[in-house]
Amino acid sequence: MTSILADLNRTVRRLRGDRSGVGAVEFALIAPVLIVLYMGSLEISVAMSVNKKLARAASTVADLVTQDDSVDKAFLASMVNVAQSVMTPYRTDGMRVKITGIAIDATGVGKATWSWQQDNTRPYTVGSTQTLPKDLAIPNTFLVRSEVEFDHKLLLIMPDIQDIDIRTLNMKKTYHLRQRIGDSVSCSNC
Per-residue pLDDT tens for 1-46? Answer: 678 888 888 888 877 777 777 788 888 999 988 988 888 888 889 8
Average pLDDT score over the chain: 88
pLDDT for residue 19:
72
Q: Where are the domains of the chain?
A: 22-187
- Where is average pLDDT lowest: 15-19, 28-32, 72-76, 162-166? 162-166
Residues above pLDDT 90, as percent of the chain: 59
Higher-scoring residue by pLDDT: 171, 21 = 171
Sequence-separated (6 or more) residues with CB below 8 Å from residue 18: none
Peptide bond into 89 cis (omega under 30): yes
Within 13 Å of residue 1, how many CA atoms lie on the same side as its CB? 0
Evaluate if residue 55 carries a pLDDT over 80: yes
- Could you tell me which of 179, 185, 175 has the C-alpha nearest to residue 56? 175
Mean pLDDT confidence for 94-104 = 95
CA 24 from centre of chain? 40
Dist. CA 117–CA 100, nearest whole Å: 9
- Where is average pLDDT lowest: 66-80, 134-148, 155-169? 155-169
Kindly indicate the confidence band of residue 120, based on its pLDDT and cuts at 50, 70 and 90: confident
pLDDT for residue 12:
81
135-161 residue pLDDT tens: 999 999 999 999 999 998 877 655 555
- Residue 59 belongs to what H/E stretch? helix 22-65
Higher-scoring residue by pLDDT: 91, 100 = 100
The pTM for the full model equals 0.77
Within 13 Å of residue 83, how many CA atoms lie on the same side as its CB? 34
